[in-house]
Amino acid sequence: MKVCFITDGTLNGAWQEKLASIGKTDLLVFGFNGLGLVSYKKELSGDTEYFGDVAKLSKQISGVVICGCDTDTYGVFRHSAVIADKGKLLGVSDMAHTLDDGEFTPGGNFRVYDTSVGKIGIIVAEDLYFPEVPRVLALCDADVIVCVFKKIESAMPQIMLRAGAFSNGVAMALCAKNYACVADVKGNVKTAGSSEMVKAEIKIEKDYRLISSRRRGLYREFGSGY
């Protein structure tokens, strides 16, 4: 799967100025720079067409487009990501956790999208820090998991990306402001870059492991006391 990450600049800016340099790609991913703040009220009234622009761009490249955004649902703000495939809007995923108090609230549950290039699971922002999130998406048969992130301010996002790919046996990719990274099923970094446009190729593979736990001797059920 050929992937292009746009880590800086807007979706429309990339469409107008960089589409030729992007070239043939199966999956085009933007961080939160892509759309900015999207109001559902304005989208529904037709005052804005941000989601429509994502769908149109996916038709233009004849592939899949994923773009991070902040959404305003009549005063309720969430971190989100929209996905479209060959001109069709597939859906919007929200961040399901919050780490600290703030204006953004948790949104809907997780989803794997069946696209023309494979089954794509989406992680939004700090949901990456919760190991159960990639596990759920992997169990739902995701071929690849894509995380859209705000801004990388420590090594933790890459660590969690690599750990999630390794422990769940599915390739994972991350797109943030001025940074993109791809980890394979072994947890190795296959591509990483901080340029405005980062191109990569993701190998679709699964690495299933037989996991067992000690059931005798000193083993006790959690909560049974020691």
Model pLDDT for residues 152-197, shown as the tens digit of each residue: 989 999 999 999 999 999 999 999 999 999 999 999 999 999 989 9
| Spatial distance between the Cα atoms of 53 and 164, rounded to a whole number of angstroms | 31
Is position 165 within any domain? yes
The single-letter DSSP state of residue 74 is T
> Does residue 170 contact residue 161 with C-beta atoms inside 8 Å?
no
Is position 208 within any domain? no
Is position 81 within any domain? yes
Is position 51 within any domain? yes
What pLDDT is recorded for position 27? Answer: 96
Task: Please report which confidence band the pLDDT of residue 2 belongs to, taking 50, 70 and 90 as the band edges.
Answer: very high
| Spatial distance between the Cα atoms of 50 and 208, rounded to a whole number of angstroms | 39
Single pTM value for the model = 0.87
Is position 214 within any domain? no
Is position 209 within any domain? no
- Identify the residue with better confidence: 221 or 35: 35
Contacts of 43 (CB under 8 A, 6+ apart): 49, 50, 51
* Per-residue pLDDT reduced to its tens digit, 52-89: 999 999 999 999 999 999 999 888 888 999 999 999 99
As for how many domains the chain has, the answer is 1
> Does residue 180 contact residue 150 with C-beta atoms inside 8 Å?
no
103: domain CATH number is 3.60.110.10
Is position 96 within any domain? yes
| Spatial distance between the Cα atoms of 150 and 55, rounded to a whole number of angstroms | 22
User: What is the span of the domain harbouring residue 153?
Assistant: 2-201
What pLDDT is recorded for position 207? Answer: 75
Is the pLDDT confidence value at 145 over 90?
yes
Is position 125 within any domain? yes
